Amino acid sequence: MQVKTFKRGTHPPEFKELAADKKIEEIPLPENVFISLSQHIGAPCKPIVKPGDEVKTGQLIAEGEGFVTSQVHASLSGKVKKIDKYPSPIGTKPTMIQIESDGNDEPLQEWTEEDWHKLSIEEMKNRIAKAGIVGMGGAAFPTNVKLSPPEKKPIDTFIINGCECEPFLTADHRMMLENSDKLLEGTRIIMKILGAKRTIIGIEENKLDAIELLNKKTASESNISVQPVKTKYPQGAEKNLIDALLKRKVPAGGLPMDVGVVVNNVGTAIAVPQAVKTKKPLIERVVTVTGQGIKEPKNLRVRIGTPFKNLIEYCGGLTPDTKKIINGGPMMGIAQYTIDVPVIKGTSGVLALTEDITQKAKEFTCIRCGSCVETCPMGLVPTRLVRLIEFDKLNMAEEMGTMSCIECGSCAYVCPSNIPLVQRIKVGKQLINEKNN
């Protein structure tokens, strides 16, 4: 089968071998979880519990108002110890609900299965909303919103993003191998909700075992196909994946639904049937704990709100030369100043890097080599954008496409002058947003 891809991009060392063959393990329940009220795009939730309250696993503890929001649930049973602001792995300090485990993990109710074929589309979307499912690839966009496009924007193609193009991360790979039936059931449910005629599962060619398995399991389904894509970064960025698979261009400032497409991450699709069939909320996820700084890299199924420290300790701890801890992958992840931050719904990985690969290189003046331009998957001119931002030419920077930057970090990765291009563009985007608001 032909391997598809998009123009430009780069191919950093993969380092997948550290955890790719490690089966998913269930981590022991933590003594405390810290559940953020702001772990999704949209308005933060408001707590509906108070300190001293007893809660059960899966109980609603915070809810949001408006359309773009997501519910928050207790990930274990116990007592609400505190509601306060704590450090988050995305670099903010939002309000969180601290729950002290009672060790029983007592569920709110029995999660009995129902036949989803008998449910209406509205009921299925309602269950997804009530379960608090968000995009688990990192963006954390509420899934029920993504599955509710306007009637004037019909969806003909649903895409499962199985690329996992970030170096080191292997959680999606393992889920495709170990939870393939749930993935395909989630795919069928989402297709029914969207009215999509077909699904394409895009998987990078470095995951041949997942490609072969899903090809075998979809052989009799003419409307679901598996498409290998080139192992290249950022192949998993949804606009690039749509371009690679369908040759459709999502307009600047637009969404995939503008070109008749919806894209979901592997973990999100696997969470959907659980919510639709049993009404069980999103209280756990799979996280890759890896890097040269982790003694025993693993893929772990963990409860939302579990501190990074617990995951690291379960994997044997850190090596003495560990220099940096990152939430996510090395290209788009966020460096942490403490490991006392909790897993949130968008945490795909906890990465520990050693000093030998994190040494900060000296920054030099731009030599105008054009490497960043040749690499940018969005066709931007990163060096020019950075200069406009530095000289406060925000209107010109906006006109040249700054807001189209997907912050993938490819430009900074290939820059021979070690200029932190993506970081400066991110600052510019913030300044432009402030200007426009």
Residues 4-16 pLDDT 10s: 999 999 999 999 9
User: Which two tokens mark 215?
Assistant: 């090809």
Dihedral (CA of 196, 229, 290, 416) sign: negative
Given phi > 0 = left and psi -120 to 50 = alpha, else beta, which region is 58? Answer: left
Residues 6+ apart with CB under 8 A from 69: 40, 42, 43, 45, 63, 142
Percent share of the chain, pLDDT over 70: 100
The answer, yes or no, to whether residue 66 has pLDDT greater than 80, is no
pLDDT at 427: 94
Over the stretch 405-416, which tens digit does the pLDDT of each residue have? 999 999 999 999
DSSP secondary structure of 168-230: S--HHHHHHHHSHHHHHHHHHHHHHHHT-SEEEEEEETT-HHHHHHHHHHTTT-TTEEEEEE-
CA dist 269 and 34 (Å) reads 25
Q: In the chain, where are the structural domains located? A: 112-278, 371-436
- Residue 176: which of 203, 206, 155 has the closest Cα? 203
The answer, yes or no, to whether residue 214 has pLDDT greater than 80, is yes
**136 contacts 172 by C-beta, under 8 angstroms:** no
CA dist 74 and 48 (Å) reads 11
- pLDDT-based confidence at 425, cuts 50/70/90? very high
**29 contacts 76 by C-beta, under 8 angstroms:** yes
User: Which two tokens mark 88?
Assistant: 């988050």
The answer, yes or no, to whether residue 54 has pLDDT greater than 90, is yes
CA dist 35 and 71 (Å) reads 11
- pLDDT-based confidence at 27, cuts 50/70/90? very high
- Enter the DSSP assignment of 7: S
pLDDT at 153: 87
pLDDT at 359: 73
321 phi and psi angles, rounded to 5 deg = -95, 15
- Residue 283: which of 59, 436, 73 has the closest Cα? 73
245 phi and psi angles, rounded to 5 deg = -80, -35
Alpha carbons within 13 angstroms on the beta-carbon side of residue 332 total: 20
- pLDDT-based confidence at 396, cuts 50/70/90? very high
Residue type, 173: H
- pLDDT-based confidence at 233, cuts 50/70/90? very high
Q: Which of 166-170, 217-221, 356-360, 366-370 has the lowest average pLDDT?
A: 356-360
Q: What is the CA radius of gyration of the chain?
A: 21
pLDDT at 437: 81
- pLDDT-based confidence at 22, cuts 50/70/90? very high
- pLDDT-based confidence at 360, cuts 50/70/90? confident
pLDDT at 356: 87
312 phi and psi angles, rounded to 5 deg = -65, -45
**337 contacts 321 by C-beta, under 8 angstroms:** no
Neighbouring-strand partners of residue 161: 202, 265
Hey, is 405 helix, strand or coil? coil
**333 contacts 349 by C-beta, under 8 angstroms:** yes
Homologous superfamily assigned to 112-278: NADH-ubiquinone oxidoreductase 51kDa subunit (3.40.50.11540)
- pLDDT-based confidence at 306, cuts 50/70/90? very high
The answer, yes or no, to whether residue 163 has pLDDT greater than 80, is yes
pTM: 0.94
Residue type, 145: V
Gap between the terminal Cα atoms of the chain: 48
pLDDT at 193: 97
Pairing between strand 95-101 and 78-85?
Answer: antiparallel
For 267, 299, 398, the CA distances from 284, given in Å and listed in that order, are 11, 13, 39
Q: What is the dihedral of CA 432, 344, 260, 378, to 10 degrees?
A: 40
Q: For residue 119, what is the enclosing H or E element?
A: none
pLDDT at 377: 95
Hey, is 52 helix, strand or coil? coil
Over the stretch 177-200, which tens digit does the pLDDT of each residue have? 999 999 999 999 999 999 999 999
pLDDT at 131: 96
CA 410 to chain centre: 18
Pairing between strand 32-36 and 95-101?
Answer: antiparallel
pLDDT at 65: 80
Pairing between strand 349-354 and 284-290?
Answer: parallel
Across the chain, what does the average pLDDT equal? Answer: 95
